[in-house]
Amino acid sequence: MLTDLTDTTAADIRAALRHTRDQMGAPATGVVLNLIIKTDESGQHDAVRAAGQAGREHPCRVLAVISRDPRATSRLDAEIRTGEGTPGQTVLLRLYGPMGEHADSVVMPLLVPDTPVVTWWHGSLPAIPSALPLGALAQRRITDAARAQAPPEALAALAAGYRPGDTDLSWTRATPWRSLLAATLDQVTDEITGGTVSAEEQNPTADLLAAWLSQRMGVPIGREDSGGPGITDVKLTTSAGDITIDRPDGRVATFSRPGQPDRHVALHRRDIAELLAEELRRLDPDEVYGETLAAAAGIPVTS
């Protein structure tokens, strides 16, 4: 069901949300979190779509904040979508003029009470997510350094402004690699003396993965450029030889260990909806991300 409200207020949107809910006979419960998406007109379709897919796993109230012409007079347009194939509700908020600077005042009355809040910047990358009003509302703040013009600088900026509760999708992308590497080290007893992570240029996930490995194992991990896609291989040097995970095509990796046959592992690159779904699974601060981010940016970790 679609409801369009032009030149409206947060109170009217609330009333409309309640009205559509009553009409559809759906109860008030059934939403596990509030997801605020900060996006723009060109990115909103993909962002809301990804949120809708993640919403199958995590029914949420999606509040997409889209800033329009800042020089216009203040105006709020809203588009409410309920029951469009996904659980939960989606509200697209278009903010014109100076109101764009006060998005939090529109969003706050629309949050489902007693339910966690997550803010996702899709597109623009804030320097200090928690310092922005929409970030301050949230217990979890999701950015994506891979979408920045210069990802390494973006990571450095995120590291400088890090607060517990921050997280970045370039870190999420590392999870399959990290779990495979962690499982590998469950089996390997030889000492690891170093290694490299190869990926396409300016890949923040590779930077974080290298920083994580280096920090956890206390050995130098080099970073090499390759043609991609994404991370193409990870090599760990041991006294017995090299352990390598080689993924040239972004889909299937070959896993090699000294003295053992090569094996194939499915290691496909995940789409944004899958990444978002993983992010929404845990809503407490990801300390390991904080430490890894600091290490990647060369900031000494203080615990």
Partner 1 sequence: MMHNPLRDPRDRRIPRLAGPCVLVLFGVTGDLASKKLLPAIYDLANRGLLPPGFSMVGFARRDWADEDFAQLTHDAIKAHARTPFREDVWYQLCEGIRFVPGEFADDEAFDLLAQTVKQLDAERGTGGNYAFYLSIPPKAFPQVVQQLKRSGLSTPPEAAGGVQPWRRVVIEKPFGHDLASAQELNAMLDAVFPPSAVFRIDHYLGKETVQNLLAVRFANTLFEPIWNRRYVDHVQITMAEDIGIGGRAGYYDGIGAARDVIQNHLLQLMALTAMEEPLSFAAEGLRAEKEKVLAAVTIPDDLATGTARGQYSAGWQGGIPVVGYLEEQGIPADSTTETYAAVRLTIDNRRWAGVPFYLRTGKRLPTRMTEIAVLFQRAPHLPFDATETEELGQNALVIRVQPDEGVTLRFGSKVPGSAMEVRDVNMDFAYGESFTESSPEAYERLLLDVLIGDPPLFPRQEEVELSWTILDPIEDFWSTCAKPDQYAAGSSGPRSADELLARDGRSWRRL
Task: Kindly state the number of chain residues that form the binding site for partner 1, as judged by CB under 8 A.
Answer: 44
Q: Are 60 and 34 in contact (CB under 8 A)?
A: yes
**Position of tokens 């607060």?**
163
Q: Do 6 and 77 form a contact (C-beta atoms < 8 A)?
A: yes
Q: Which one of the spans 92-100, 127-135, 156-164, 254-262 is the region binding partner 1 (CB under 8 A)?
A: 254-262
Distance CA 136, CA 133 (A): 5
**With respect to partner 1, which residue has the nearer C-beta, 127 or 240?**
240
Residue 197 CB, shortest distance to partner 1, in Å, is 14
Among 75, 163, 216, 223, indicate the residue that binds partner 1 (CB under 8 A): 216
Which segments of the chain are extended strands (E)?
A: 2-5, 33-39, 60-67, 75-82, 89-96, 117-121, 140-143, 166-168, 192-199, 221-225, 231-238, 241-246, 252-256, 263-266
**Exactly one of 59, 152, 194, 228 binds partner 1 (CB under 8 A); which one?**
59
Does position 131 interact with partner 1 (CB under 8 A)? The reply is: no
Q: How near is the Cβ of 144 to partner 1 at its closest, in Å?
A: 16
Q: Which two tokens stand for residue 298?
A: 């060369």
Angstrom distance (rounded) from CA 121 to CA 128: 12
In this structure, are residues 117 and 138 in contact, taking their beta carbons and an 8 Å threshold?
A: yes
44 vs 214, beta carbon nearer partner 1: 214
DSSP SS3 for 209: helix
Instruction: Report the nearest approach of partner 1 to the CB of residue 162 (Å).
Output: 16
For residue 89, the tally of other CB atoms under 10 A from its CB is: 25
- Of 4, 30, 84, 227, the residue at the interface with partner 1 (CB under 8 A) is 30
Rounded CA-CA distance 201/194 in Å is 21
| Options 186, 300, 302, 303; binder of partner 1; rule CB under 8 A | 186
Cα–Cα distance, 302 to 291 (Å, whole number)? 9
Q: Which of 13, 208, 213, 221 binds partner 1 (CB under 8 A)?
A: 213
- If one asks whether residue 149 binds partner 1 (CB under 8 A), the answer comes out as no
**Residue 236: both structure tokens together:** 């760990």
Among 181, 206, 273, 275, binds partner 1 (CB under 8 A): 181
Q: Which stretch, 14-22, 55-63, 93-101, 105-113, contacts partner 1 (CB under 8 A)?
A: 55-63
How far apart CA 33 and CA 165 sit, in angstroms, is 15
**Residue pair 295/207 in contact by the 8 Å Cβ criterion:** no
- Judged by CB under 8 A, does residue 57 bind partner 1? yes
Q: Is 58 in the site for partner 1 (CB under 8 A)?
A: yes
Q: Are 194 and 219 in contact (CB under 8 A)?
A: yes
Binding to partner 1, residues 266-295 (CB under 8 A) = 266, 268, 278, 280-283, 286-288
| Shortest reach from residue 129's CB to partner 1, in Å | 19
Q: Which of 49, 251 has the CB closer to partner 1?
A: 251
- Judged by CB under 8 A, the residue of 127, 260, 271, 301 near partner 1 is 260
180 binds partner 1 (CB under 8 A): yes
Q: Which residues pair with 35 in a beta bridge?
A: 62, 118
Residues of the shown chain interacting with partner 1 in the complex, contacts defined by CB under 8 A: 29-30, 32-33, 57-59, 87, 172, 175-176, 178-183, 185-187, 189, 213, 216-218, 251-252, 255, 257, 260-261, 263-266, 268, 278, 280-283, 286-288
